[in-house]
Amino acid sequence: MSEKKAIKGGEFLIRETEAADIFIPEEFNEEQRMMAQSCKDFTETQVLPNIDALDQHDRKLSVKLMKDAGELGLLGISLPEEYGGFGQNFVTSMLTTEEMGQGYGFAVTFSAHTGIGTLPILYFGTEEQKKKYLPKLASGEYLGAYALTEANAGSDPNSGTTKATLSEDGKSYTLNGAKIWITNGGIADLFIVYAKIDDDKNLSAFIVERDTPGFTIGAEEEKMGIKAASTVQLYFDNVKIPAENLLGSRDGGFKIALYILNLGRIKLSGATLGAGKATISNAVQYANERKQFGQFLSSFGAIKYKLAEMTIRNFASESLTYRASQNIDDAIDSYIAEGMDKDKAGIEGIRQFAIEASIAKVFGSETLDYIVDEGVQIYGGMGYSAETPVERAYRDSRINRIFEGTNEINRMLIVAELLKRGMKGELDLLTPAKAVAGELMQIPDFGSTTMDYFEEKKKYILNFKKAILMIAGAALQKFTKTIQDEQEILMGVSDMIMCTYAAESTMLRVEKLNGMYDENKISIYKDILDVFIADQAAKINKFGVDLTNYFAEGDEKQGMLMGMKRFTKTAPVDVVSARRHIADRIIEDNKYNL
């Protein structure tokens, strides 16, 4: 029997995935759970009791906590053992990121250091650079930051104007320019700085140490949220750095930035999971203690709806995040098995699933924004008080839709990357798109009436994918080379893709759990799946109909509208009873416990 071919990034749209082929959080082993517990204990005993002081810009405390985390080994989870780390895989690093996610702004400090502040050196550094810096970053002796953004270079980082000039003897570079919104900037010892060398078209990356002459760190920015995280401007006035501090190749910095942004996107999704679970737990505990009209808030149907919907969305976000994380690990292992260098395999594994990373980032950040908003609403007037945890969670969440590329940019990247891979022949999008177009001309196949529970759900997912291919195929045929200018189409198709990926990921997780749990225990998960798929079907229909009404005409328009109705049709679901069941479970447990 031939070995099953590993799925490629974005291929979920045109290929069915089996439940057995995905990873779900319920499968974490004992060692992984112990690492997660260490992160949880650290956050609960060290971070949360000090969060007010951290919010007041106590940067000495930030540094101390980071060094304490380093002593516990929490800063080196994904670094190889030879550089002072634990050498854990990507999924394990995501779990620890999730557990640290309940730490409000400190979670940003932690993630920026362990992710974008450290991993560029791991993946792109020379052996000398790795030996010099990674052990110090793993231990907390050095704290890291990532300096890319400029005043006129946000979503378009390659337009930055910070310059590096190579000396005549080729032994050093001189940096001039400024960076803004640099996370960890006020506490970092080491900076990954991006600049253009002379008249190069693309950025290069440099390792810059804090005490380098001419390098000035600005005052702390006063922000809406994540006040516990240091954010400053950086200034470079004839900053001279040795030539060996060039990271990667000359003119290769933009590529490094893109790879690290992909990494940061899915890591951000992991952090939102922890923050979401913490907020749900805080909200249900408040609802179980607060009385109105002689009853606990948790007894009211309106509150149950909120608690259930918060839970459903976080469960879906968790499902897709860990599915994509395992895909990255599998890709890395596959590249290594083929003989690729381990560090390059890590780069390529993350690149391969850039589409899924963007999906996770957008879905996770918008899910958390929904959760914290409803958390404030459940608290009522008290939720507006700075004395409550939901107020801080609400403010801290908002940046996530801007971090690591705005959600609008990421939406457009999802479709653009799919189309690019299709044009390169990496993904065969044309054949299934033609098949769907042909299907619209045929009499609908209403299928068997004897499908079991998961067969029915799989049919829905397959039809969602057909709806995407129908809309995207027709739009591409109409606009061809100008499709990149039709941002409303790109974002609408992207939303359809995200809805489908989230629905499929949730379905596959519940199907896998069905083989692990008895009928009584699995019932709540089926309720989550029933409600979520019904909601995604309605959303996909809305996006598809709106786009069809925009660019289609005549018979094509009528055919596509009929197709959207067919492809998003699902059996009726009693979502009220299902949500009550989900909420009652959360209320009984007095915390998020799924």
In the block, tokens 């009929």 appear at 562
From the centroid of its chain, how far is CA 421?
21
What φ, ψ does residue 591 adopt, rounded to 5°? -170, 165
Q: How many CA atoms lie within 13 A of 228 on its CB side?
A: 29
Distance CA(569)–CA(562), nearest Å, equals 11
How many Cβ atoms from other residues are within 10 Å of residue 152's Cβ? 10
Of 177, 176, 188, 268, the residue nearest 232 (C-alpha): 188
In eight-state DSSP terms, residue 156 is: -
How many Cβ atoms from other residues are within 10 Å of residue 242's Cβ? 12
Q: Is 404 known to be catalytic?
A: yes
Of 497, 503, 494, 432, the residue nearest 461 (C-alpha): 503
Distance CA(411)–CA(491), nearest Å, equals 5
Q: Identify whether the C-beta of residue 252 lies closer than 8 Å to the C-beta of residue 129.
A: no
Active-site hit among 150, 374, 391, 404: 404
Distance CA(386)–CA(443), nearest Å, equals 60
- How is the chain split among helix, strand and coil, in percent rounded to 5? 65, 10, 25
User: What are the tokens at 143?
Assistant: 């704290």
Of 393, 379, 384, 374, the residue nearest 48 (C-alpha): 393
Distance CA(264)–CA(146), nearest Å, equals 11
Q: Identify whether the C-beta of residue 159 lies closer than 8 Å to the C-beta of residue 196.
A: no
Of 259, 352, 340, the residue nearest 6 (C-alpha): 352
Contacts 24+ apart (CB under 8 A), 294-300: 297/378, 298/583, 298/587
Distances (CA, A) of 151 to 181, 190, 421: 9, 22, 32
**Residues composing the chain:** 594
Write out the catalytic residue numbers: 404
